[in-house]
Chains A and B, each alone.
Chain A
Amino acid sequence: AQSVTQPDIHITVSEGASLELRCNYSYGATPYLFWYVQSPGQGLQLLLKYFSGDTLVQGIKGFEAEFKRSQSSFNLRKPSVHWSDAAEYFCAVATNRDDKIIFGKGTRLHILP
């Protein structure tokens, strides 16, 4: 069965600093990978997804993620964070593009002014 591991429960970075959130997945075949963001009181919003093709995917709000099959990873990056990026971030995997999504436990991002 597929699974997702987000090793960092909390991450704190200063505003303007770069960010990398780690994600490792477990799935035997080619996965469909997602990053979602959840702000307090808000619903889940899709930041970006990887289905196939270029392993570096661009998303909304200046985020990008890189799929590395050899490391079973799909890390999320942003070159310069803004205070409004403070939220919970979920990495997720699916076996098919329209299948149920399996989520990691999330990483809560804190931004220092």
Chain B
Amino acid sequence: DTGVSQNPRHKITKRGQNVTFRCDPISEHNRLYWYRQTLGQGPEFLTYFQNEAQLEKSRLLSDRFSAERPKGSFSTLEIQRTEQGDSAMYLCASSHSVGSYEQYFGPGTRLTVT
């Protein structure tokens, strides 16, 4: 078990460009969560999946954001037409919907929009 992995770890992009992040959860985990953390704040919930179904989306997830988990395994988070306000750490977590329920977090992808 290698834990939750996220790629890339860092991304610098220019305003207006599209970016995509990938999250690979712990293999037997059927729930996958995306959070965003800005400097000096706690993580804020964005969306989550159970298997391939997206069950909830935060109001923070504007129409420029889209997340997918096509086969119920890895997930991608895409941001279109990035803005400077999108600069943040994007965290992925996974859990199993039975058992300990603990959410295991990945190391995050730090996005800087210039």
Q: Which positions in A face B, CB cutoff 8 Å?
A: 4, 36, 41-46, 49, 90, 92, 97-98, 100-106
Q: Please choose the segment from B11-19, B35-43, B71-79, B80-88 that sits at the chain A interface, where 4 or more of its residues have CB less than 8 A away.
A: B35-43
Report chain A residues within 8 Å CB of B106.
43
Report chain A residues within 8 Å CB of B42.
4, 90, 92, 103-106
User: What total of chain B residues lie within 8 Å of the partner, measured CB to CB?
Assistant: 23
Q: Which positions in B face A, CB cutoff 8 Å?
A: 4, 31, 33, 35, 40-45, 48, 56, 91, 93, 95, 97, 101-103, 105-108
B34 CB → nearest A CB, Å:
10
- Once the chains bind, are A46 and B102 in contact (CB under 8 Å)? yes
A-B contact sample (8 more), CB < 8 A, given A45-B105, A102-B45, A106-B40: A43-B91, A43-B107, A46-B102, A100-B33, A100-B45, A100-B56, A101-B33, A103-B43
